[in-house]
Structure 1
Amino acid sequence: MFAILNEIRVLDLTSVVLGPYATQILGDFGAEVIKIENLEGDMFRAVRPGRSDQMGAGFINCNRNKESLVLNLKSERGIELFYRLVKTADVVVHNMRTRTAEKLGIGYEDCKARKADIVFCNAQGFGEDGPLADVPAYDDIIQAASGLAYLNADSEGHPRYLPTIVADKVAGLQLTIAVLGGLMHKQRTGKGCAIEAPMFEGLVSFLMAEQMAGQSFVPSMGGTGYERLNASYRNPHPTADGFIALLPYSKQNWIDFFHLVGRPELAELEIVTDAVKRSENINQLYAMINEISPEKTTDEWCELLQDANIPHTRVNHLDELIDNEHLSAVGLFQSYEHPSEGSMLGVRSPYVVQGIEEVEDKPAQLLGEANAKILQELGLNEQDMQQLLADGVI
């Protein structure tokens, strides 16, 4: 954890992956993140594997550097306590549909009425101004709606989801940027703001940076789709004993590659030496690699390509990353003791920061673990908290 956002208090009303991924980054940067959960807790707590019912691996990996507070926001007393917290906060983040938040009384206008300079950020599935605003959305829905599932189609053209929660995590990164932008605006002007970071628009924007292609021009110069990325031979190439990712990218890379493999005549082809022709015929070039790559083992290729400074890597399984030489050297995977879950292995923040104090990360908390601490700060005593417990508020 880095002391970058010290003294910034974030009220985190998010759940599952999108929002928690975003607010964990804020926590990694030193913000005080109060994770407000309902009586049952974030549903991601129950997703297996896990040693206990409320502390699944995925939840633990998205919720470090936060304090867990249980509040029943459907109760009058719960909303009252939330408003008192808003008065102490800099940021409110949620990933509910806007009308759901407003119905609960925790929308932007509700929060702004209690704290005029609040930075209010939300990331629902579809933007508020469109006809899909009230449609529920999770990662699979957005992968399909955005066109990503067809980009990842199998050999028969059937759409497939990527086996990672990419729509959630892209939106999470965009939500983090929104919060930081809102805080900069507040610092410069003294005024708060509301920023919406919808998943659908966010992933389409993310994909279309390169996939807009010929549709970028009016009149159109062709359809969507970036030729190199959609090439049928753009896959790890087979070797004598496995696979290798091999990417001659520049003109010189291609020339060096064909000389390296004893095919200098190919290095003189126009589809190699001319950048436009190379782009138009990239699939043919990848097919050439596919014909050549089985001639050597993966280790032989790595040694040869390293000496020639041609971009490449062996193709790793996820399990191999734990003991990966580079990741071990930089300490990305770290062992730690969780207060309730015992010995754990986690992935630290990927950032390397110099010139700013670094403090020890705090592991994900049990449901309501910070109730007493936070409610005492609001002036409640033990008797008050026992009454809240009896009334189903906490």
Structure 2
Amino acid sequence: MMQGALHGLLVVDLTSHLSGPYCTMLLGDMGAEVIKVERPGAGDDSRRMPPMVDGMGAPYALWNRNKRSIALDPKAPEDAEVLRRLIARADVLVENMRPGALARMGWDWPALHALNPRLILASISGFGQDGPWAAHGGFDLMAQGMAGLMASNGPVEGEPHRLPIAISDISAGMFACIGILGALQARQRTGRGQQVEASLFESALALSIYEAAAVLGTGRRPERLGQAHRGAAPYQIFRTADGYITLGAGQDHFFARLCDLLGQPDLAKDARFATVAARVANHGALVAILNEHLARRDSATWLAALEEAGIPAEKVLHYDEALAHPQAIARGVVTEVPGARQGLRRTLAPAVQLKDTPSAVRRPAPALDEHGAEIRRWVMQDPPPATR
């Protein structure tokens, strides 16, 4: 297997649950050596997150691939020394404890920087390392609610909706990974590490491109739109005779083709729908007309006609259908886990590919303390080994 882009990089992973492990998973996919430090006897709580597969939580198995595990109790002197030596050798330390917890362990930034001036410390938290909400516990649920995601999602006249994916956790992990890569590049110039921060709250806010633009541009609270788009119409899900399709005909030339396809060419000239702004303003009337026409034929018939007309549209799939789709198969979206003895035998492949230094699933998620003995032997060598 070809070496990844981050081959030779040592990452010490002090994270649990999702945001931090997702960040270190991305680094491991790109070839970094990731050592996951876990609580003795229990490990990461997500090890017990259902569905269970061969005694391991399937979510844990997915986002903790490409890592090795060691169980350490920082309060025990011998384990504290192992952790100290790991940090001294590391390029990156990632943690997602509550702000201040790492410092209470004796590892505030001045202490870390003095031990290892090249170290990059990435901290992921619910609301950031400072500010009046820093001490608040931050799960994805709270971040979605605080960042406006819930208030802006759901039916127009309904209750706020939680996005069913852990969007703030995942985006915080991604932003932390981006920050780490930037800090590594800066270290190439300066020779010094630095602190990197990401929070679930700010990550969720960073995704609100259209909503933030509305607030910052007009000073008004953006209304909940349901399936509608703030800047394009028609651009949403539509029901057909046998299912649902997505239809993106918001641009004028796409809309004109759609009107022709529906046998309603004059609709594109109607003052209510002649421009993007007009269609957005008269979204309700437009959708009512389109619903009436699209419900008359099945999805396959519409999708074939829309493709021939060059109008962006696709079928709405369930997750099992998406993972089995010919495009997903052709792109290798699902991959085999090499050497998997427990947990998932198949997993999602890395979503970003570098052609010369490919990301890859190189090892399965570890059992608790699976690599503890070998890591202890390695890290207690004095002086440290010349190569990793």
Report the TM-score, using the length of structure 2 for normalisation: 0.90
Residue 148 of structure 1: CA displacement?
1.1
SS of the aligned residue for 2:354 comes to coil
Name 2:92's counterpart in structure 1: 91
Contact 2:336 2:346 in 1 (8 A): yes
- Secondary structure at the aligned position of 2:121 is classed as strand
Matched AA of 2:350: S
Of 155-164 and 175-184, more deviation after overlay is shown by 155-164
Name the counterpart of 1:223.
221
How far apart in 1 are the matches of 2:3 and 2:270? 52
Q: Any conservation in 2 of the 1:210–1:226 contact (CA below 8 Å)? A: no
Q: 1:215 to 1:65 in 2, by over 3 A?
A: same
CA distance in 2, matches of 1:327, 1:359: 16
1:213 and 1:223 in contact (8 A); partners too? no
| 1:48 pairs with 2:58 | no
Q: Residue 117 in 1 paired to residue 115 in 2?
A: no
User: Conserved in 1, the CA contact under 8 Å of 2:74 and 2:80?
Assistant: yes
Once the two structures are superposed, residues 135-186 of structure 1 have per-residue CA deviations (whole angstroms, 9 ceiling, x without a partner) of 1111111111111112223454312211111110011111111111111111
User: 1:67 Cα shift?
Assistant: 0.9
- State yes or no: 1:210 paired with 2:214: no
User: Quick one: distance in 2 between partners of 1:368 and 1:72?
Assistant: 12
CA apart distance, 1:46: 0.7
Match of 1:295 in 2: 296
Alignment partner, residue 134 of structure 1: 135
Residue in 2 that maps onto 1:387: none
Shift of 1:334: 2.1
Q: Distance in 2 between matches of 1:30 and 1:196?
A: 22
> In structure 2, what is the equivalent of residue 258 of structure 1?
259
Counterpart code for 2:213: A
8 Å contact from structure 2 (residues 30, 359) kept in 1? no
Structure 1, unaligned runs of 5 or more: 382-394
Matched AA of 1:44? S
- Deviation per residue, 1:339-369 (Å, 9 max, x gap): 4227722111122322236666211111111
State which drifts further: 234-243 or 367-376: 234-243
For structure 2, the residue ranges without an aligned partner over 5 or more in a row are: 383-388
Contact persistence 1:127–1:198 (CA under 8 A) = yes
> 1:110–1:281: structure 2 CA closer, same or farther, 3 Å change rule?
farther
Is 2:198 the counterpart of 1:174?
Answer: no
Partner of 1:193: 194
How many residue pairs end up in the alignment?
Answer: 377
CA shift at 1:233, angstroms? 8.8
For residues 68 and 134 of structure 2, what CA distance do their matches in structure 1 show? 31
Please name the residue that 1:329 is paired with.
330
Q: Give the stretch that moved more between structures: 297-306 or 342-351.
A: 342-351
- CA deviation digits over 1:312-362, x for unaligned, max 9? 110101121232111111121123465422772211112232223666621
Evaluate the alpha carbon distance shift between residue 322 and residue 42 of structure 1 in structure 2; reply closer, same or farther with a 3 A threshold: same
The 8 Å contact of residues 215 and 221 in structure 1, kept in 2 or not, is answered as yes
1:233-257 residue CA offsets vs partner (Å, 9 max, x unmatched): 9652111111111110211000000
Corresponding letter in the other structure for 2:211:
Q
Asked whether the 8 Å contact 2:65–2:364 carries over to 1, the reply is yes
The one-letter code sitting in structure 2 at the alignment partner of 1:216 is L
The answer as to whether partners of 1:71 and 1:78 remain within 8 angstroms in 2 is yes
Q: Which residue of 2 aligns with 1:277?
A: 278
**More displaced 10-residue stretch of structure 1: 129-138 or 69-78:** 69-78
Residues of 2 paired with 1:247 and 1:284: CA distance? Answer: 17
Question: 2:385 corresponds to which residue?
Answer: none
Q: Tell me how far apart the structure 1 counterparts of residues 220 and 151 of structure 2 sit (CA, whole Å).
A: 18
CA contact (8 A) 2:66 2:365 kept: yes
Aligned equivalents of 1:360, 1:187: Cα separation in 2: 27
Rounded Cα–Cα distance in structure 2 between residues aligned with 1:342 and 1:61: 9
Tell me, what secondary structure is at the counterpart of 1:129?
Answer: coil
- Contact preservation (8 Å) 2:11, 2:94: yes
Tell me the distance in 1 between the aligned counterparts of 2:344 and 2:100.
42
CA contact (8 A) 1:233 1:283 kept: no
SS of the residue 1:270 aligns to: coil
